[in-house]
Structure 1
């Protein structure tokens, strides 16, 4: 096994693992976002086998620059981690990737690691982290916040209250960031369906880490809202959006 660090210079050849088609707009958006965030310490590493096949990846960043609604300035925050094949998820590969984040955290003089987990979509569940010494310190909605520290006197990470941010979104809103490269595909589908139903959705992009920390959902980088209510918090298909839209408009779902 080998660990390969993705940099702004080699991203075209190594890809971002979760999106490999370099011609997709989502890849280009992620690449531009990554180049800016790389200067803030954000890293993506890919685990490969001896045949150069990609097995999994991890994306992590000093908590001060995490694109999630959390306060974790003295921790390294894990945005995403994933082992692609189910048959390889019990071989310790996820732990290998977490160890890379831990090494970087210690090198930077940080006090620990933290991660947001969920049983729902687009985040790992907490089992992997608990096996690596993480403890759950908070839970809100479908999310858990877990941390591992080597300094018992350090301040614990905490969630921001993203529910308080939802009320300011009147009408239909889609708020997203380029941290997730699949947002672009979802946005296109949502806008096309909204047009079919005569629904005007205001689309706005999260451009800074401070805006991300004030996002109206736990996942933070994808938020579908209607009149102050969060309808979904991660990439969704056109079919899923059509069902949500009909329900909000009190239309037959069949």
Structure 2
């Protein structure tokens, strides 16, 4: 097992790969957008820790106060993503990354660590059954099946912002809230724009580009949220046009 891990910093950010999309040195718009997003977050205590190898093995978390999610709480870390993919699976990397995050939280005097989950595991969300093995528990829920998982060190717990629990908007068009925290988002947006233009589907894209916008979102959010006919649909990135079609036929 390779135990050589590295944390991204402002000094090495330009040279290190970002795990999610393993590419050659050719520029990829999604990766460069993510790199820019990260460059503005690292000074806020945001952590991106990865295996020092060409592999998808990483954890990404931030102080809840500056995490771009509609969740409130004091002195917590929020885990955006914990991902071990492909051949590295089964080697204990996920445990090592989670243990690092928990140890970091304790060392910095945090009250605990939290993450977004659901009553049924969703794509694009970290494995909540894995988190529960470390003692994470459901501390808040929404009416549409999403859960806030937390591991508290002092008995306090975070919660969803009230606005995240009422996932309805006035706009009836296909509406997508997004930020550039995930490098896949750029290509998903381009796919959706092209599909909607070709099929004459009205589309509203709302770039969540400030912390305030993220905290005030009308739904749960990890970096992406889809509404149609005013109703919240999913935090999953739309995998293909078939997925989009199923939403539009509702």
TM-score range, shorter chain: 0.7 to 0.9
Cα gap change, 1:143/1:232 in structure 2, threshold over 3 Å: closer, same or farther? closer
Aligned partners of 1:243 and 1:165: how far apart in 2? 19
Match of residue 47 from structure 1: 51
- 1:218 deviates by 1.9
Does the CA-based 8 Å contact 1:70-1:160 persist in structure 2? yes
Match of 2:28 among 13, 19, 24: 24
Match of residue 178 from structure 2: 176
Confirm or deny that 1:36 pairs with 2:37.
Answer: no
- 1:220 deviates by 4.2
**Per the alignment, in what secondary structure is the counterpart of residue 212 of structure 2?**
helix
**Per the alignment, in what secondary structure is the counterpart of residue 11 of structure 1?**
coil
Give the TM-score, by structure 1 length: 0.86
Confirm or deny that 1:69 pairs with 2:70.
Answer: yes
- 1:213 deviates by 2.0
Match of residue 244 from structure 1: 247
Aligned partners of 2:165 and 2:86: how far apart in 1? 35
**Per the alignment, in what secondary structure is the counterpart of residue 54 of structure 1?**
coil
- 1:101 deviates by 1.4
- 1:184 deviates by 1.0
Does the CA-based 8 Å contact 1:193-1:242 persist in structure 2? no
Q: How many corresponding residue pairs?
A: 241
**Per the alignment, in what secondary structure is the counterpart of residue 15 of structure 2?**
helix
Aligned partners of 1:25 and 1:55: how far apart in 2? 19
| Structure 1: segments with no counterpart, 5+ residues | 249-254
Give the TM-score, by structure 2 length: 0.87
**Per the alignment, in what secondary structure is the counterpart of residue 14 of structure 1?**
coil
**Per the alignment, in what secondary structure is the counterpart of residue 60 of structure 2?**
strand
- 1:39 deviates by 1.2
Q: How does 1:1-254 map to 2 (within 5 A)?
A: 1-21=3-23, 23-48=27-52, 52-54=53-55, 56-85=57-86, 88-89=89-90, 91-118=91-118, 119-140=121-142, 141-152=144-155, 155-161=156-162, 162-164=164-166, 166-236=168-238, 237-245=240-248, 247-248=249-250
Does the CA-based 8 Å contact 1:20-1:27 persist in structure 2? no
Segments ≥4 residues shifted beyond 6 Å = none
- 1:138 deviates by 2.3
Does the CA-based 8 Å contact 1:216-1:223 persist in structure 2? no
Aligned partners of 2:185 and 2:88: how far apart in 1? 28
**CA RMSD after TM alignment:** 2.1
**Per the alignment, in what secondary structure is the counterpart of residue 227 of structure 2?**
strand
**Per the alignment, in what secondary structure is the counterpart of residue 44 of structure 2?**
coil
Alpha-carbon displacement from aligned partner over 1:15-58 (angstroms, at most 9, x marks no partner): 2211233611111111111111111111100024xxx3535100
**Per the alignment, in what secondary structure is the counterpart of residue 102 of structure 1?**
helix
Match of residue 251 from structure 1: none
Aligned partners of 2:122 and 2:107: how far apart in 1? 32
Aligned partners of 1:177 and 1:209: how far apart in 2? 10
